[in-house]
């Protein structure tokens, strides 16, 4: 009780800064707008239904994309349930709205007791499923107190996080005592949770749901049509880039253009509020750039195609010959992004030295010769070598596809375990 009081006091101090960043309007970034009240638990009632309400929570775009195949499969298998999905960010909300035919979106209430309790009184969920480890102490406490079962899927715990929890054991106890079921990414994750005192009855190992990438046939068709529109020229994509990476990758592209003048770069910044800045950066370098959002034609002299629309990354990856994964260029920074997406689209991928968010997956792919891992000063060499070697491109793509297919099944296993536990 005292620990939660101290935590809530600290949260009160930092919440204004968090909300300022969340609500601040930025060009190209979706806005929370009039829905800001939802962050304080003032949320609309779920559309009239007598069905039990199942609540899925994902933080932002990445988590929403990861949980989308699970929600689709769950909805199909459980037509007698009503689904809501919460996100914290407006970009996550924009992605979640694409599921509006099977799930209603709400913003996640802030981790204050009054906001969480107000949300629970309005929505009245029967179950909460959290993707990854978005574990807020007050939310978990009041959801558990409300009699709502809590399951965490794709649960991960790094060695670093384990050591941090062990420094103040009471924090781990405060969080994990309220969780009914942790569906772990790997056996190693399960062992680390166990080291924190989580009981075996709370733990199951399912593998990563990220291997269960959902690729609709329509998406493959769109990707092929875009690729055909590029003609015979080579195309590489810099996917989900962060500030500081665009400059480096544009340097690489300009060097490559010296010997391969027809080469096209698809550049996709991670955050929509950076779209305009990255476009200006391309223009300042004299690169002939087309923005996807303008629907302008890609001409023979187009050198950069800026992916400044939401939700098109998979399709753009499938239209490329080689992918360089953003968020990975600088050691110890962002930690990389989902390398299984280009793998599922049949595009060979290069990742830099910062990939701690996908450590297990990247290491498995490296062992299978399914991805090119390069230290920061070797990324250009790896890119130029891969563009020049079609056989290697095909081999990496095939190996990556094999890794994805060999490790699928986490969604089915998660649903089965959950159904057996809660009879849903």
- Lowest mean per-residue pLDDT among 19-23, 266-270, 322-326: 19-23
Q: What is the pLDDT of residue 351?
A: 98
Find out whether 400 and 329 touch, Cβ atoms under 8 Å.
no
Per-residue pLDDT tens over the stretch 378-419: 999 999 999 999 999 999 999 999 999 999 999 999 989 988
Q: Long-range contacts: 205-208, Cβ < 8 Å, 24+?
A: 206/153, 206/410, 206/413, 206/414, 206/417, 207/407, 207/409, 207/410, 207/413, 208/154, 208/360, 208/361, 208/407, 208/410
Mean per-residue pLDDT for 175-197? 92
> What single DSSP character describes residue 299?
-
Does the structure show a pLDDT above 80 at 45? Answer: yes
Q: What is the pLDDT of residue 132?
A: 82
∠ Cα 64 77 146 (to 5°): 65
Per-residue pLDDT tens over the stretch 229-239: 999 999 999 99
Q: What is the pLDDT of residue 172?
A: 81
Question: What region does 288 belong to: left with phi over 0, alpha with psi -120 to 50, or beta?
Answer: beta
Q: What is the pLDDT of residue 357?
A: 87
Q: What is the pLDDT of residue 162?
A: 87
**How buried is residue 140: exposed, middle or buried, by Cβ count under 10 Å (0-12/13-18/19+)?**
buried
Q: What is the pLDDT of residue 424?
A: 66
Instruction: Give 26's pLDDT tier (boundaries 50, 70, 90).
Output: confident
Share of the chain above pLDDT 90, in %: 72
| Distance (Å) of CA 46 to CA 70, 124, 189, 224, 375 | 21, 9, 35, 39, 49
Does the structure show a pLDDT above 80 at 423? Answer: no
Q: What is the pLDDT of residue 148?
A: 96
Q: What is the pLDDT of residue 260?
A: 97
> What is the average pLDDT value for the chain, to the nearest integer?
92
Mean per-residue pLDDT for 348-376? 94
Q: What is the pLDDT of residue 244?
A: 96
Active site residue 159: no
Mean per-residue pLDDT for 31-48? 90
- Lowest mean per-residue pLDDT among 25-29, 93-97, 219-223: 25-29
Q: What is the pLDDT of residue 414?
A: 92
- pTM for this prediction: 0.87
Q: What is the pLDDT of residue 61?
A: 84
Per-residue pLDDT tens over the stretch 308-351: 998 899 999 999 999 999 999 999 889 999 999 999 999 999 99
Does the structure show a pLDDT above 70 at 89? Answer: yes
Q: What is the pLDDT of residue 305?
A: 98
Q: Which of 38, 63, 104, 341 is catalytic?
A: 63
The domains found in the chain, sorted by start residue, are: 20-212+408-422 (3.40.50.11720), 217-406 (3.40.50.2000)
Mean per-residue pLDDT for 365-376? 94
Find out whether 155 and 179 touch, Cβ atoms under 8 Å.
no
């Amino acid at each position: 009780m005292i620990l939660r009081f101290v935590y809530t006091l600290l949260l009160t101090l930092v919440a204004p800064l968090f909300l300022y960043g969340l609500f601040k309007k930025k060009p190209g970034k979706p806005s929370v707008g009039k829905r800001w009240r939802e962050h304080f638990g003032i949320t609309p009632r779920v559309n009239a239904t007598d069905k039990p309400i199942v609540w899925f929570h994902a933080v932002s775009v990445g988590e929403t994309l990861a949980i989308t195949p699970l929600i689709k499969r769950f909805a199909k298998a459980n037509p007698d349930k009503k689904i809501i999905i919460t996100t914290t960010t407006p970009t996550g909300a924009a992605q979640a709205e694409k599921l509006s035919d099977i799930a209603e979106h709400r913003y996640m209430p802030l981790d204050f007791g009054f906001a969480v309790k107000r949300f629970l009184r309005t929505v009245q969920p029967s179950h909460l499923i959290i993707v990854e480890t978005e574990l807020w102490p007050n939310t978990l406490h009041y959801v558990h107190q409300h009699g709502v079962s809590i399951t965490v899927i794709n649960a991960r715990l790094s060695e670093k996080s384990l050591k941090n929890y062990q420094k103040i054991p009471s924090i781990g106890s405060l969080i994990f005592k309220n969780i009914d079921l942790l569906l772990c990414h790997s056996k190693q994750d399960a062992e680390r949770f166990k080291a924190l005192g989580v009981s075996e009855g709370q733990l199951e190992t399912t593998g990563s749901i990220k291997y269960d990438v959902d690729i609709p046939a329509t998406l493959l068709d769109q990707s092929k049509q875009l690729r055909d529109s590029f003609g015979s020229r080579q195309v590489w994509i810099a996917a989900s880039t962060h500030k500081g990476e665009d400059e480096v990758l544009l340097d690489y592209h300009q060097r490559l253009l010296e010997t391969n003048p027809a080469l096209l770069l698809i550049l996709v910044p991670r955050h929509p509020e950076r779209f305009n800045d990255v476009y200006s950066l391309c223009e300042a370098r004299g690169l002939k750039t087309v923005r996807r959002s303008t629907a302008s034609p890609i001409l023979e002299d187009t050198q950069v195609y800026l992916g400044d629309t939401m939700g098109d990354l998979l399709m753009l990856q499938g239209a490329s010959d080689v992918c360089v994964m953003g968020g990975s260029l600088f050691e110890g920074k962002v930690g990389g992004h989902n390398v299984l997406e280009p793998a599922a689209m049949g595009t060979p991928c290069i990742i830099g030295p910062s990939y701690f968010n996908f450590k297990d997956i990247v290491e498995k792919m490296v062992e299978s010769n399914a991805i090119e891992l390069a230290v920061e000063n070797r990324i250009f060499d790896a890119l130029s070598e891969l563009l020049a070697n079609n056989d290697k491109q095909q081999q990496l793509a095939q190996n990556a596809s094999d890794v994805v297919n060999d490790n699928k099944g986490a969604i089915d296993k998660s649903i089965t375990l959950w159904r057996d536990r809660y009879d849903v």
